[in-house]
């Protein structure tokens, strides 16, 4: 995880956002080790705020979305055990959302260097939240994001698929048309609308309100998923995760955010928030999911996820402050599998 501080994205000097990050880190640390990377001058601040079981290290950053700026880890099982490597994709701040992202482009390589894990440069712009994988060769994404002209305008859909297959080991890519309504920060990242609970089972953000623009998006995604087969030839089971009511920025939540530069994202009161319960993190034995402080909707979503993950404890954390910054639990976390550093001579991925 990172440590939020950017004044043109986080309100009140990022203090409310930092507290939400602390709450998420505490919840995850019940199940597995957590490391928080803070900008070097903020390491002492993060160390004082976080519990002692959470490791704090210095990692220069522009913002704290380590799902998108961190590495995507690869694993290979062999006779001598599991080997691990990481892909460092190109990054352009979500198509130019921020003017300065010179630190963020180095986060993935910094994490891999610190962990002693081989770094494989990925040959296109890709954020981790724009893809979801089942670990058995199937990848979910959205055309709204990966085919957006602000990412890789020189690449066709087929060329993007070829890179995903070559560098992530997948053999089947399922393209949803669009992401969550109002997800303009990421141009429709898949982690805000659908994800694998396990191979063969996809959880989908769902709305039964025909007046809500999410209603149409959820149904078009469902049609794609029900027609698809995964890399093993299985039809997908789709679990509908009900969305709560539409939420919007409040005046008091935007007043203290610094104005962004020309052409960059501004937080404006009254704008709809891209809030999705599906933006959760799967832990070793647990699931940490967002909550909005809307009792009925929060409880209903938690019940559904507990049914999806009967062998895991589902923990709900109030994360509206993270949502105000443009993401949620999945967006601020990046899992690292255990294993020894991969022997790079066995990775034949240099053709592209």
What is residue 145's predicted lDDT score, i.e. its pLDDT?
A: 98
Residue ranges of domains in the chain: 12-339
pLDDT tier at 348 (50, 70, 90 boundaries)? very low
**Is 331 labeled as catalytic in the residue annotation?**
yes
User: What's 12-339's CATH class?
Assistant: alpha beta
Catalytic-role residue among 145, 195, 283, 331: 331
Per-residue pLDDT tens digits for 64-79:
999 999 999 999 988 8
pLDDT tens digits for 266-317?
899 999 999 999 999 999 999 999 999 999 999 999 999 999 999 999 999 9
What pLDDT, in 10s, does the model give residues 119-144? 999 999 999 999 999 999 999 999 99
What average pLDDT does the structure give for the chain?
A: 95
Q: What percent of the chain has pLDDT over 70?
A: 97
Q: Report, as an integer, the average pLDDT of 248-253.
A: 97
How many Å apart are CA 204 and CA 82, to the nearest integer? 31
Beta bridge partners of 132: 140
Banded model confidence at residue 345, pLDDT cuts 50, 70, 90? low
User: Quick one: pLDDT at residue 352?
Assistant: 36
Q: CA of 64: how far to CAs of 39, 94, 255, 352, in Å?
A: 9, 13, 21, 30
Give residue 80's pLDDT band: very low, low, confident or very high (50, 70, 90).
Answer: confident
For residue 21, the SS3 value is helix
Q: What is the DSSP string of 295-310?
A: HHHHHHHHHHHHHH-T
The residue with tokens 């976080």 is: 50
- pLDDT of residue 193 exceeding 60: yes
Token look-up 């589902």 returns 314
Q: Report whether pLDDT(349) > 70.
A: no
Phi, psi of 289 (to 5 degrees): -125, 160
């Amino acid at each position: 995880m990172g440590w939020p501080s950017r004044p043109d994205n986080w309100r009140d000097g990022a203090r409310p956002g930092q507290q939400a990050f602390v709450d998420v880190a505490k919840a995850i640390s019940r199940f597995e080790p957590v490391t928080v990377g803070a900008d070097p001058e903020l390491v002492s601040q993060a160390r004082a705020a976080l519990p002692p079981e959470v490791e704090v290290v210095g990692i220069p950053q522009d913002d704290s979305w380590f799902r998108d700026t961190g590495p995507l880890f690869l694993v290979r099982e062999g006779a001598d055990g599991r080997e691990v490597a990481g892909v460092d994709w190109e990054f352009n701040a979500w198509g130019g959302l921020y003017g300065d992202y010179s630190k963020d482009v180095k986060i993935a390589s910094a994490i891999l260097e610190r962990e002693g894990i081989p770094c494989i440069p990925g040959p296109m712009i890709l954020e981790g939240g724009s893809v979801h994988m089942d670990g058995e060769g199937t990848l979910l994404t959205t055309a709204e994001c990966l085919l957006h002209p602000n990412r890789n305008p020189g690449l066709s859909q087929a060329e993007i698929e070829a890179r995903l297959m070559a560098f992530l080991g997948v053999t089947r890519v399922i393209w949803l048309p669009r992401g969550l309504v109002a997800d303009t920060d990421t141009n429709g990242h898949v982690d805000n609308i659908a994800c694998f609970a396990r191979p063969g089972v996809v959880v989908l953000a769902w709305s039964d309100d025909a007046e809500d623009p999410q209603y149409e998006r959820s149904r078009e995604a469902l049609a794609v998923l029900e027609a698809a087969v995964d890399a093993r030839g299985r039809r997908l089971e789709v679990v509908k995760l009900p969305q709560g009511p539409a939420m919007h920025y409040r005046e008091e939540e935007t007043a203290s955010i610094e104005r962004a530069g020309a052409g960059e994202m501004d937080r404006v009161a009254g704008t709809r928030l891209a809030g999705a319960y599906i933006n959760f993190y799967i832990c070793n034995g647990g699931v940490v999911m967002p909550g909005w402080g809307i009792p009925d909707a929060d409880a209903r979503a938690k019940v559904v996820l507990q049914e999806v993950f009967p062998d895991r404890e589902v923990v709900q954390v109030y994360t509206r402050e993270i949502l105000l910054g443009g993401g949620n639990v999945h967006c601020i976390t990046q899992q690292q599998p255990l294993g020894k550093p991969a022997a790079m001579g066995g990775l034949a991925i240099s053709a592209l």
